[in-house]
Amino acid sequence: MAKDLHAYDVSLHSVNAMGLNDVAGLVTNDPGTKDKIVNVLNVMGKRQLTLDQLLDATDFNERYLRFLITKLRSIRLIMGEKRNSKYFYYLSYESFTTYLKTKYSDAIYNLVKRG
């Protein structure tokens, strides 16, 4: 049990230590796409935005922005909900943290277990 708690603590530290470029690296290796992902994340911040608001703020074409949103949703960093016939996107730290814990928990546990 103590090892499990230690692995949990290590994984949380890893999540907190990640920069936006590291997060973008979970989605792509392309430097240009990484920069655009970081741009979208900076625009969103703590706000909930519609697709039109994101398009205005980023100047990306709609098809490309939808592509980026799909990529970010695949790692559970962006979530969305429909309200008053509009769809709002927002950053979800909790969902992203859960994604990382689930995806890397075995690797973190094995790393701690060896030490």
**Domain ranges, ordered by start, for the chain:** 2-114
pLDDT at residue 21, as a whole number: 85
Q: What tokens does 89 get?
A: 């996107």
pTM of the full structure: 0.70
Chain mean position to CA 52: 20
What residues have CB less than 8 Å from 54, skipping those under 6 apart? 40, 43, 44, 60, 65, 69, 89
Q: For domain 2-114, is the CATH number 3.40.50.300?
A: no
pLDDT at residue 60, as a whole number: 95
Contact call for residues 65 and 37 (beta carbons, < 8 A):
no
Query: Cα–Cα–Cα angle for 14, 30, 98, nearest 5°?
Result: 30
Return the percentage of the chain with pLDDT > 90, whole number: 42
What residues have CB less than 8 Å from 6, skipping those under 6 apart? 112
pLDDT at residue 2, as a whole number: 40
Give the 3-state secondary structure of residue 65: helix
Contact call for residues 80 and 93 (beta carbons, < 8 A):
no
Residues 51-70, mean pLDDT to the nearest whole number = 95
Residues 89-113, mean pLDDT to the nearest whole number = 77
Instruction: Give first-to-last CA distance, the chain, whole Å.
Output: 15
